[in-house]
Amino acid sequence: MKLVSTRDFSQKADLSYALLNPSARGGGLFSPERLPLLSEDFFKQCEDLSYKQIALKIIESFGFDVSSEIFESALRRYDKFENSACPVQIKKLSENAYILELYHGPTLAFKDMALQPFGALLKSIAKARNEKFLIMCATSGDTGPATLEAFADDENIKAVCLYPQGGTSEIQRQQMVKQSAANLKILGVRGNFDDTQRALKSLLADEDFKNELARANLNLSAANSVNFGRILFQIIYYLYASIYFSKHGVLSPEQNLKQSDQCQACGKNFGGAAGANSAQSAKFNTFDVIVPSGNFGNALGAYFAKKMGAKIGKIKIASNANNILTELFTRGIYDLRNRELIRTISPAMDILISSNVERLLSDMFGDARTSELMQSLARDKFYKLDASELAKLREVFEADFCDDTQCAKFIKQESSRGVLIDPHTATCFKLLDESRLNLVISTAKWIKFTPSMIGAIKGRACEDERADMIALSKEFRSDIPPQISRLFSAPQVHSSVVEQSEIKNAIMEWIKK
Residue-wise pLDDT tens digits, 57-67: 999 999 999 99
Question: Residues 114, 202: one domain?
Answer: yes
Q: How many CA atoms lie within 13 A of 39 on its CB side?
A: 3
Mean pLDDT, range 263-292, rounded to an integer:
60
pLDDT at 444 over 70: yes
User: What confidence tier does 253 reach under pLDDT thresholds 50, 70, 90?
Assistant: confident
Q: Report how many helices (DSSP H) and strands (DSSP E) the chain contains, helices first.
A: 22, 16
Q: How many domains does the chain have?
A: 2
Query: Which pLDDT value is given to residue 281?
Result: 58
Q: Is 400 part of a structural domain of the chain?
A: yes
User: For the segment 176-199, what is each residue's pLDDT rounded down to a tens digit?
Assistant: 999 999 999 999 999 999 999 999
- Give yes or no for a contact between 402 and 326, defined as CB atoms under 8 angstroms apart: no
Question: Residues 188, 301: one domain?
Answer: no
Question: Residues 365, 306: one domain?
Answer: yes
Q: Is 161 part of a structural domain of the chain?
A: yes
* φ, ψ dihedrals at 452, nearest 5°: -70, -35
Question: Residues 195, 313: one domain?
Answer: no
Q: Is 154 part of a structural domain of the chain?
A: yes
- Cα-Cα-Cα-Cα dihedral of 459, 464, 466, 472, to 10°? -20
Q: Is 131 part of a structural domain of the chain?
A: yes
Question: Residues 233, 162: one domain?
Answer: no
* pTM for the predicted model, two decimal places: 0.92
Which CATH number belongs to the domain containing residue 452 in this structure? Answer: 3.40.50.1100
Query: Which pLDDT value is given to residue 162?
Result: 97
- How far apart are the C-alpha atoms of 325 and 351, rounded to whole Å? 10
Question: Residues 128, 240: one domain?
Answer: no
pLDDT at 379 over 60: yes
Q: Is 469 part of a structural domain of the chain?
A: yes
- How far apart are the C-alpha atoms of 138 and 147, rounded to whole Å? 10
- How far apart are the C-alpha atoms of 380 and 382, rounded to whole Å? 5
Question: Residues 335, 463: one domain?
Answer: yes
User: For the segment 188-243, what is each residue's pLDDT rounded down to a tens digit?
Assistant: 999 999 999 999 999 998 999 999 999 999 999 999 899 999 999 999 999 999 99
Question: Residues 302, 349: one domain?
Answer: yes
Q: Is 28 part of a structural domain of the chain?
A: no
* Sheet containing 8-13, strands listed edge to edge, beginning at the edge strand earlier in sequence: 8-13, 3-5, 30-32
Query: Which pLDDT value is given to residue 232?
Result: 98
Instruction: Return the higher-pLDDT residue of 355 and 254.
Output: 355
Question: Residues 183, 316: one domain?
Answer: no
- Give yes or no for a contact between 90 and 244, defined as CB atoms under 8 angstroms apart: yes
Least trusted range by pLDDT, from 255-269, 392-406, 489-503:
255-269
Query: Which pLDDT value is given to residue 267?
Result: 45
Burial 369-408 (b: 16+ CB within 10 A, else e): bbbebbeebeeeeebebeeebbeebeebbbbbbbebebbb
pLDDT at 138 over 60: yes
Question: Residues 324, 430: one domain?
Answer: yes
Question: Residues 210, 319: one domain?
Answer: no
- How far apart are the C-alpha atoms of 287 and 373, rounded to whole Å? 31
Mean pLDDT, range 286-292, rounded to an integer:
98
Q: Is 58 part of a structural domain of the chain?
A: no
Question: Residues 379, 502: one domain?
Answer: no
Query: Which pLDDT value is given to residue 366?
Result: 98
Residue ranges of the alpha helices (H) in 78-227? 111-129, 143-151, 170-177, 193-204, 207-215
User: For the segment 68-102, what is each residue's pLDDT rounded down to a tens digit?
Assistant: 999 999 999 999 999 999 999 999 999 999 999 99
The residue segments making up the domain with residue 206 are 109-223+481-512
% pLDDT > 90, the chain: 89
Query: Which pLDDT value is given to residue 37?
Result: 98
Of 226, 232, 258, 221, the C-alpha closest to 243 is: 258
User: For the segment 308-349, what is each residue's pLDDT rounded down to a tens digit?
Assistant: 999 999 999 999 999 999 999 999 999 999 999 999 999 999
- Give yes or no for a contact between 335 and 327, defined as CB atoms under 8 angstroms apart: yes
Q: Is 212 part of a structural domain of the chain?
A: yes
% pLDDT > 70, the chain: 95
Of 421, 78, 509, the C-alpha closest to 265 is: 78
Query: Which pLDDT value is given to residue 448?
Result: 97
